[in-house]
A and B are shown apart, each in its own frame.
Chain A
Amino acid sequence: MMQFDQQQKEAQLRQLVDDVLREAVRQGASSAEVAARSDMGLSATVRLGEPETIEHTRDNSLSISVYFGHHKGTASTAELSGEAIHEAVSAACAIAKHTAEDEYAGLADAALMATEFPDLELYHPWDLDIQQALGLAVECESAARDYDPRISNSEGATLNTGEAVGVYGNTHGFLHGYPSSHHSLSCSVIAQQGDSMQRDYWYSTARSSAALAEAADIGERAAQRALARLNGRKLKTRQAPVLFRAETAAGLFNNLVHAISGSALYRRASFLLDALDTAIFPQWVNVEENPYLIQGLSSAAFDAEGVATKRRDLVADGILKSYVLGSYSARKLGLQTTGNAGGVRNLSIAMGDQDFAALLKTMDTGLVVTELMGQGVNQITGDYSRGASGFWVENGEIQYPVEEITIAGNLKTMFRQLVAVGNDDDYPGSIRTGSWLIESMMIAGE
């Protein structure tokens, strides 16, 4: 099915990026940077055992930033014809004539460009035809539907497979690219009992098909999750300990990363201003970023500006050791870029020795959160208020599912009141963490 000659594609994109950089300079840019990418993929969805959609994806993109001194202009195109590229370059240059002089604008320093490009094993194409893709999706969905008679309906199962080549170049002479692949299998089913109807899902995602979870296991887990939610109750409004199940704890990580990212800091739009080298977690907390994880979902040897990425501690012994910066925000803050233009890469928290059951015992009485709803996080103040569902726990054991409640607190306090991190990191994604037990939060319900 796939006819993606990645070597040829990479050579084409390198040539294109190089041509575009030259054109930008010809139009008067003092410096420029260009990223180009081609994606190709297949998405097959089945529902109730029958094929529902087959989508063939094929996307191209090119984005350019030009600098005329410290005046910046950017443009992008999702079409790689000569005309479109010419239009994009001209527009970027025209825009740069109207933006204000910004002394912090420009490429990252040439001395910081990556020089080593280890093979991180990110490219594992999957030679899968449509029938095979549908077959895996059917296997996944069937496992969910056959799991229990209360699984009454399905939103289907989807097999996604895709590969891409990305190239980045700038007028420092940096020009590098690499191919990558991504595959996923997901399933979403509905459990019904009496008047209660609940939907839940599970999925697996990986760089190589071999690293995907078994189709049947994904389906069964989706079914178990939907069934566990049946006949949920509301809680009385109260203060109680909250255990964020690993998949929701990863969301707290995202709030942390946002708060220590350069753009939030220089805008003074973060609840962690001036927190560098101060304790933001209890002393036993350590958080690491590792861009060099083999087959990692966010691995890369260079960031979106060509800067070499580094393995480092974000948090050591509870103390914030590094912000998350690209070159622009770093200059604004009088600091050095941390090679995080484009985001963080493979975060993990040092996990404790308690599994999920042990964490329940430690909590004794409180709320397990398995799903969060809405965007009720104020990144400026840290105020946190989100819809939640999960389970009520007494005597260290799950009593019943709960829903239609909110949990509220302040992230700064929640981080300091982290009681334990479990070793139950059994969910997919580039953030590795177990469940987080927070000492106390306000739960609103009836």
Chain B
Amino acid sequence: MLEIVEQQLLTPAGLEQRHLDHVLDHLLGHQIDFADIYFQSSRLEAWTLEDGIVKEGAYSIEQGAGIRAISGEKTGFAYTDELQLPNLIQAADTARAIARAGQNRSIAVTAAGREQQLYGATNPLDTLSRDTKVELLQQVEQEARSQDVRVSQVIANLVAAYELVLVAGSDGVLRSDIRPLVRMNVHVIVEQDGRREQGTAGAGGRTTLEFFSRDNRGLELARDAVRQALVNLSAVDAPAGAMPVVLGAGWPGVLLHEAVGHGLEGDFNRKGTSAFAGRLGERVASPLCTVVDDGTLAERRGSLNMDDEGTATQQTVLIEKGVLKGYMQDKHNASLMGVMTTGNGRRESYAHLPMPRMTNTYMLAGEQDPAEIIASVDRGLYAVNFGGGQVDITSGKFVFSASEAYLIENGKVGSPVKGATLIGNGPEVMNRISMVGNDLQLDPGIGVCGKEGQSVPVGVGQPTLKIDELTIGGTV
């Protein structure tokens, strides 16, 4: 793979490996402990259907190199969208100036890891013709409209991205990755007697666009979005207050992303700003909970052959039977904390600095039948679909917003309720998980995680689970 990426990324700019060594040599030796160069080239194509027609198509190009120089706890960073050697040297000069600011403390950075091939290297922009992409969206639209006469608007998006990445580090790393990523989203609005509601469904992964035509997956998304919108059309006001909450399997795993995931990123724990800082080995969740971050799942949206520092991704156990086992690390934080990187060093692009980020974060299956879990609740909420979430990693408070939820009454799923925000404290809520289902499911491939202004694709997952008490932000 390295050769292919070198040919496409470096050769057109007249760059060879010896030039990269030259730039890295240029960076080191000025009290710089570690440096790396990150080359990236990406192409993205997006199509939008609305009002029954595919009215927009957009193509975008991004290419450049980011140069990072680390001196102890300090990082200098510069980037360029011109890949010629003089531009790289200039960026290197700028980045290494960090060593002159403040104190210096020496660190040693190491990383390695096996080579792995978790997804194909085919460019997903090319495998379907543009006509076929347009047709695919039209079929999705027709499927949605044919479900119900109350469907008043269908908006469908199809996105394919293809990214080449090459990392050269002063620790000897020289690795590349080819990263395809596709996604489809269907947004449906239904209207009845003046009341309007919406439903959304999406899916994707590191694969080609055939993902959506194969097994009629695109049509399935259309049906699911309509189903959800119609459910919301009959939704009653959501309750307000604390009560038991059963979360469905799959995408509701956004709970884990917010309640524990961010709080276990290495940077926050090194700095002591996370509610989980200094708690390794302590019980932070109910013993039913084992939570992992796993970047090695084939073709998953959050998976990577290597992270953005050239380290192979891995499965990292974060919480095992309720006990905090480890943090997610990139090279810099790992070396400052005296541990190994876990292959979680990620960045939005060459123009952003890497930091510890999640890949696919999920809870392992338990033993309970999901039906038993629902049957155990006298009065509570059953939430199966969510919008976004947010966490304050210092106080541990987090929210996530249900977009499809039902009341549970006397152990049975009852009326659908309007969307509501759920709020809790990460460690407290994790300790209140009293039942875990045997139905582990990963999300369909739609997650985007934001941190310090940088967005990266991620995955989440969980089995059906019960939280004994969680605050529901309804109105009645």
Contacts and interface: CB of A to CB of B under 8 A. Distances in A.
Given A56-B94, A268-B191, A385 B238 contact: yes
Nearest to A379: B198
A345 to B, nearest CB: 23
A381 B196 CA distance: 7
Contacts of A385: 238, 401, 419-421, 473-475
A333 interface: no
A153 interface: yes
A95 B196 contact: no
B158 interface: no
Given A80-B81, A153-B273, A373-B399, A444 B240 contact: yes
Interface in B388-415: 388-390, 392, 394-395, 397-401
B399 A99 contact: no
Nearest to A105: B55
Contact of A268 (B196, B398, B421): B196
Interface string B45-89: 100001001111111111110000000011111111110000000
B385 to A, nearest CB: 13
Contacts of B238: 385, 408
A376 B59 contact: no
B196 A444 contact: no
Contact of B387 (A58, A375, A445): A375
A75 B392 CA distance: 37
Interface string A39-72: 0000000010011111111111000000000001
Nearest to B419: A378
B1 interface: no
A95 B401 contact: no
A57 B82 CA distance: 13
A375 B450 CA distance: 13
Interface in B174-199: 189, 191, 196-198
Nearest to B100: A130
Interface stretch (A81-89, A177-185, A276-284): A81-89
Interface residues of B, number: 79
B59 A92 contact: yes
A134 B74 CA distance: 12
A376 B399 contact: yes
B97 interface: yes
A95 B61 contact: no
Contacts of A376: 387, 399, 401, 419-421, 473
B400 A374 contact: yes
A95 B398 CA distance: 42
A158 B448 CA distance: 25
A70 B79 CA distance: 39
A166 B37 CA distance: 29
A76 B42 CA distance: 12
A116 interface: no
A442 B474 contact: yes
A378 B237 CA distance: 13
A98 interface: yes
A237 interface: yes
A107 to B, nearest CB: 15
A198 B57 CA distance: 45
How would you classify the secondary structure of chain B's contact residues: helix, strand, loop or mixed? strand
A74 B56 contact: yes
B425 A404 contact: yes
B149 interface: no
A444 B152 contact: no
A199 interface: yes
Interface string B266-304: 000001110100000000000000000000000000000
A50 B82 contact: no
A75 B399 contact: no
Contacts of B476: 442
Nearest to A199: B394
Contacts of A408: 238, 240, 420-421, 473-475
Contact of B397 (A51, A94, A381, A387): A387
A374 B421 contact: yes
B189 A380 contact: yes
A101 B56 CA distance: 10
B73 A444 contact: no
B163 to A, nearest CB: 13
B101 A134 contact: yes
A363 B101 CA distance: 51
A148 interface: no
A365 B448 CA distance: 40
Interface string A5-34: 000000000000000000000000000000
Contacts, number: 260
Nearest to B351: A59
A51, A74, A134, A385 — which one has the most chain B CB atoms within 10 A of its CB?
A385
B392 A77 contact: no
B77 A54 contact: yes
B61 A79 contact: yes
Given A54-B101, A55-B77, A198-B394, A374 B475 contact: no
B241 interface: yes
Nearest to A152: B272
B397 A78 contact: no
Given A373-B390, A406-B421, A100 B58 contact: no
Given A55-B353, A380-B189, A406-B423, A374 B390 contact: yes
Nearest to A96: B57
Contacts of B271: 47, 153, 155
Contacts of A92: 59
B50, B81, B238, B272 — which one has the most chain A CB atoms within 10 A of its CB?
B81
A267 B55 CA distance: 14
B55 A389 contact: no
B242 interface: yes
A381 B57 CA distance: 29
B249 interface: no
A383 interface: yes
Contacts of B420: 376, 385, 406, 408
A190 B420 CA distance: 30
Contacts of B418: 378, 381, 383
Interface string B14-58: 000000000000000000000000000000010000100111111
B167 interface: no
A429 interface: no
A358 interface: no
B252 interface: no
Contacts of B58: 73-76, 95
A409 interface: yes
B76 A53 contact: yes
B317 interface: no
B336 to A, nearest CB: 12
A102 B196 CA distance: 25
A404 B63 contact: no
A373 B423 contact: yes
Contacts of B390: 373-375, 387
B55 A100 contact: yes
B209 interface: no
Interface of B: 45, 50, 53-64, 73-82, 91, 94-95, 97-98, 101-103, 130-131, 133-134, 152-153, 155, 189, 191, 196-198, 238, 240-242, 271-273, 275, 351, 353, 387-390, 392, 394-395, 397-401, 418-421, 423-425, 471-476
13 contacts: A56-B78, A59-B81, A75-B61, A77-B61, A84-B61, A99-B134, A234-B471, A373-B392, A374-B388, A387-B390, A408-B421, A445-B242, A446-B471
Interface of A: 47, 50-60, 72-81, 84, 87-88, 91-92, 94-102, 105, 130-131, 134, 153, 155, 190, 197-199, 229, 232, 234, 237, 267-269, 373-376, 378, 380-381, 383, 385-387, 389, 403-410, 442-446
Given A95-B58, A373-B423, A406-B399, 16 more contacts: A47-B271, A50-B102, A54-B76, A54-B97, A73-B59, A74-B58, A79-B61, A95-B45, A153-B272, A199-B395, A234-B471, A373-B398, A383-B418, A385-B421, A403-B395, A444-B471
Listed from nearest, the 3 A-B pairs whose CB atoms lie closest are A406-B473, A95-B57, A100-B53
